[in-house]
Structure 1
Amino acid sequence: MPDSSRPLRKLGFLTIGTFDPADPAVGHESTLQVIELGERLGFDSAWLRHRHLQFGISSPIAIMAAASQRTSRIELGTAVTPMGWENPLRLAEDLATVDLLAGGRINPGLSVGEPMHYDTVQHELYPDSAELEDFSYERVARLARLIAGEPVREFSGKQGVVEEFSNRVEPHSSGLRERLWYGAASTKSAIWAGANGFNLLSSSVIFPDVNQEPSFAEIQRSQIRAYREAAATSAQAHGPARVSQGLVVIPTDSASAKQQEKYQRYVDERTARTRSPQGPKRMLFAPDLIGTSKQIAEQLYAHAGFQEVDEVAFALPFSFDHEDYVQILTDIATTLGPALGWAPAD
């Protein structure tokens, strides 16, 4: 088996939570069952992608609230919530509420930027302020300040007999600020996250700098190192800087022949895009890792980005069936995780 001097400390998984638009309840229930399975298998965390106007989870906060009442230990996160769709004050209220319901297990992952296909939805999303909205880092920084409990106004205190008002977002969940993550795909964003006291989510998509050679693993490693350097000197530090890597891994140890054929077809269809930068921003995609747990472990130990982390949130493929996710998660927890030095939580 592969060997490493630094065993994997935390093992999580990421799901998009797809559903059939003709019967969406089934897909949402499947997502909750997958999270419950993850807890039983000893995973440290379960993460939800955030999709708007698609057939994936549009309200991960609601899913996390439901999951918090069906689990007791596993951490729940978003990877990531695009802040361009959100009002930071309202989001701060919702996140704090769910974090309290979950007993301090929520890990919000965030990103900034203009919403995808903004021109097609801005008339409904921001009908009166579409041209004025700020989609910069300040939007997520404002959320962080609100979650930290900084005042939002001078007005507070009692009014009348029963009405009492606060000058900060309520409820306040102590410790939530330290569990904020930023999904960075560029060196600039990684440095900003470190300098501003966020943990780092590094996924299977990155944007190389102009002069960087198109090697996904090497670029990911350089971004993580830039993040750690910025975090080490940050006056905004909110605890030890954490980094999680999110590659797509598909172990086939217990997969049926039919599943293996489907999985390989999925990977083959996605491999072409990983061979060269895509689009005007030269987006790079990491290859999906498929094979036995031993084979995947060997590839991970040779991966420059993986060598920089001690926690991961492996991404589940988008379009598989519930029984496929059961098989993949079971193989990750019982075979791949231990091959990486990880031990399941009690």
Structure 2
Amino acid sequence: MRKLGFLTIGRFDVDHPGPGIEETLQVIERAEALGFDSVWLRCRHFQPGISSPVAIMAAATQRTSRIELGTAVIPLGLENPVRLAEDLATVDILSGGRVNPGVSVGTPMLYDHYKTALYPESHDVQDFSKERVLRLLRSLRGEPVSDFEGVIGIEQFVRQVQPHSPGLAGRVWYGGGRESAIWAGQQGINYMTSSVVSTENISEGTESRDFATIQAEHIDAYRAHHPEPGKSRVSQGLVVIPTDSASDDQIRRYREYAASRFERTKSPQGARGMLFSPDYVGTSDELADQLFAHAGFTRADEVTFALPFTFAPADYNQIITDMAQELGPRLGWQPSTTHQGRAS
């Protein structure tokens, strides 16, 4: 395994958001000190969580020097791709080229409840297709988006989004099911998996496939359609909770959390047949054995383990410390030695 990262939800108190946002920034600092390769921010709108991951990443660039900063994911249905490209490029330059934008498309969640506030005159004709990703990529690659170039008075104008950050377009990630995996491969962008897969393309009468097998098939499909599969990047995301240094109370709560979510893993859910992965809780030795037997894990050389919802700061600190110091080395990973600062 080449790269180890984790995904944080960045929750905060609705009435007092400051401490929670500061906690997210401290988690990123802690991750760099522990030698993690990346931290990813979950984007959540109209919830007490990270609604503006680009702003959080901008702040994090001023507190870190090495760790990669990703989004998992920015729903482009609420974004203007050209404006987002300006923000991402600015933060990428501030970071020294460490931004990894993960994006998604489709009609935004609960869209009918705020569509007139978001798009007062055009909410019924918005294009939420993958074309939105292509618009973002064109902007990040420096392709012209304006037909004017010249000087007006003392102001200079160019055709491309400014600033331009070379290489940023190559760090865009896209997630989804098999068709999305194929599309991401064809576009030559990176592919991000998560703890849920779609079973909608599995024909009736075929042998039942478990989560790991389906996830592995999606990764294989992605690489089969990538123009340079040797250079492709795939990240696997599961909820993985090591308990090496956890207290008895923490272990009890972690196992109760996993058990409360297990029922949804038994069969596909909803119209698209979404199948959820079970959460993994145990010592690093136990987790390593389970992951090396996981067909999806064995296909990916990067991981982004998702931190669970609703836990306390001390829990997250214990989990990411055990990830870096216990689980990671058992998976063949070693922490970076180029970071600044020290873990304590």
TM-score, scaled to structure 1: 0.94
Does residue 1:117 correspond to 2:106, yes or no? no
1:40 partner letter: A
CA–CA distance in structure 1, aligned partners of residues 68 and 130 of structure 2: 26
**How does 1:1-346 map onto structure 2 within 5 Å?**
8-160=1-153, 162-184=154-176, 186-208=177-199, 209-211=201-203, 213-232=208-227, 240-346=231-337
1:246 partner letter: G
Counterpart contact for 2:12–2:20, Cα < 8 Å: yes
CA–CA distance in structure 2, aligned partners of residues 81 and 318 of structure 1: 18
Structure 1 residue 157, shift from structure 2 partner: 1.4
CA–CA distance in structure 2, aligned partners of residues 71 and 313 of structure 1: 19
Counterpart contact for 1:214–1:284, Cα < 8 Å: no
CA–CA distance in structure 1, aligned partners of residues 145 and 306 of structure 2: 37
Structure 1 residue 153, shift from structure 2 partner: 2.0
Which SS does the other structure have where 2:261 is aligned? helix
Counterpart contact for 1:214–1:276, Cα < 8 Å: no
Structure 2: state its 5+ residue gaps.
Answer: 338-344
1:104-134 CA-to-partner distances (Å, cap 9, x unmatched) read 0000001110000111111111111011100
Structure 1 residue 214, shift from structure 2 partner: 4.3
Structure 1: state its 5+ residue gaps.
Answer: 1-7
CA–CA distance in structure 1, aligned partners of residues 213 and 335 of structure 2: 29
1:279-331 CA-to-partner distances (Å, cap 9, x unmatched) read 11111111100000110110000000001011101100011111111000000
CA–CA distance in structure 1, aligned partners of residues 20 and 266 of structure 2: 33
1:25-67 CA-to-partner distances (Å, cap 9, x unmatched) read 1111111001100000000000000000011100000000001
- Stretches of 4+ aligned residues off by more than 4 angstroms: none
Which SS does the other structure have where 1:76 is aligned? strand
Q: Count the aligned residue pairs.
A: 333
CA–CA distance in structure 1, aligned partners of residues 332 and 231 of structure 2: 22
CA–CA distance in structure 2, aligned partners of residues 191 and 30 of structure 1: 37
CA–CA distance in structure 2, aligned partners of residues 307 and 214 of structure 1: 17
Structure 1 residue 210, shift from structure 2 partner: 3.3
Match of 2:341 in 1: none
CA–CA distance in structure 2, aligned partners of residues 240 and 337 of structure 1: 23
Counterpart contact for 2:82–2:136, Cα < 8 Å: yes
CA–CA distance in structure 2, aligned partners of residues 253 and 173 of structure 1: 41
Structure 1 residue 247, shift from structure 2 partner: 0.5
1:269 partner letter: S
CA–CA distance in structure 2, aligned partners of residues 22 and 120 of structure 1: 22
CA–CA distance in structure 2, aligned partners of residues 214 and 334 of structure 1: 34
Which SS does the other structure have where 2:43 is aligned? coil
Match of 1:3 in 2: none
CA–CA distance in structure 2, aligned partners of residues 128 and 143 of structure 1: 22
Counterpart contact for 1:214–1:277, Cα < 8 Å: no
Structure 1 residue 232, shift from structure 2 partner: 3.2
CA–CA distance in structure 2, aligned partners of residues 155 and 311 of structure 1: 42
TM-score, scaled to structure 2: 0.95
1:44-91 CA-to-partner distances (Å, cap 9, x unmatched) read 000000000011100000000001100000000001111111000100
Which SS does the other structure have where 2:182 is aligned? helix
Counterpart contact for 2:188–2:227, Cα < 8 Å: no
Which SS does the other structure have where 2:305 is aligned? strand
CA–CA distance in structure 2, aligned partners of residues 72 and 183 of structure 1: 27
Structure 1 residue 154, shift from structure 2 partner: 2.1
CA–CA distance in structure 2, aligned partners of residues 278 and 92 of structure 1: 35
Which SS does the other structure have where 1:297 is aligned? helix
1:96 partner letter: A
1:122 partner letter: K
1:181-211 CA-to-partner distances (Å, cap 9, x unmatched) read 1022x11000000001210001111111232
Counterpart contact for 2:100–2:171, Cα < 8 Å: yes
CA–CA distance in structure 2, aligned partners of residues 313 and 268 of structure 1: 22
